[in-house]
Chain A
């Protein structure tokens, strides 16, 4: 099956810093989503981005489907950004099955 790798696995930032999270996948996909899992376990939709670039406030994401990677940018980080960031992909013909990466654990400190 498809492999999804995320980097870095862990990241510690000072409040106000910027960061880039990466997601590599091993096969063609027709859906890619970024999620933020907060300390209470809630998975929050950040972006639905099978290709192209999107921005939402301090967050933006870019997926280059032909090169099989996606990037999530966090600017001016805040302590509330702490948590785990997952990318998840779906392959054509796979129904709605999402394959998740192992996540990036982000901690933003004052």
Chain B
């Protein structure tokens, strides 16, 4: 079956703009989590959505937000982009929240801020 699909793969924006990234989980998976990867901070948890509800949130400013739809697809939005938001954004899906199941990652969206 198809893996986790993230779109777009690459994105270039300028400071002050906003951006929306999309993640489609593996079929049947209901939990979607988002991570940011930068050279300086490594891989950091942004938030998790399950059954259209945010279940968990990392230590990021309110400019970072997300949502989940009834088909489990998720979007994350970053408003008022800053240079430091340049990163690889990874999405992971899992069957359920807080379950003893592995998480599977998409190929990521590489966001560059000019």
> Residues of B within 8 Å of A, CB-based: how many?
29
Q: Would A30 and B100 be within 8 Å (CB), given that A41-B108, A41-B110, A96-B94 are in contact?
A: yes
Q: How far is the CA of A93 from the CA of B101 in the complex (A)?
A: 14
Q: For the complex, is A95 an interface residue (Cβ under 8 Å from B)?
A: yes
- CB pair A97–B58 under 8 Å, yes or no, is yes
Q: How far is the CA of A41 from the CA of B108 in the complex (A)?
A: 7
- Specify which chain A residues have a CB less than 8 angstroms from the CB of B50 in the assembled complex: 95-96
- CB pair A43–B102 under 8 Å, yes or no, is no
Q: For the complex, is B64 an interface residue (Cβ under 8 Å from A)?
A: no
State which of A17-25, A63-71, A75-83, A99-107 sits at the interface with chain B: A99-107
Q: 8 Å CB contacts to A: which residues of B22-80?
A: 31, 33, 35, 37, 42-45, 48, 50, 55-56, 58
Q: For the complex, is A73 an interface residue (Cβ under 8 Å from B)?
A: no
- CB pair B103–A98 under 8 Å, yes or no, is yes
Listed by A's residue number, 26 A-B pairs whose Cβ atoms lie within 8 Å are A30-B100, A31-B100, A33-B102, A35-B105, A40-B107, A42-B105, A42-B107, A42-B108, A43-B90, A48-B101, A50-B100, A94-B56, A94-B98, A95-B31, A95-B55, A95-B56, A95-B97, A96-B31, A96-B33, A96-B55, A96-B56, A96-B98, A97-B56, A98-B45, A98-B92, A98-B103
- In the complex, besides A96-B33, A96-B56, A100-B42, 17 extra interface pairs with C-beta distance below 8 angstroms are A31-B100, A33-B102, A35-B105, A40-B107, A41-B88, A45-B105, A93-B98, A94-B98, A95-B97, A96-B48, A96-B92, A97-B45, A97-B48, A98-B92, A98-B103, A100-B43, A103-B42
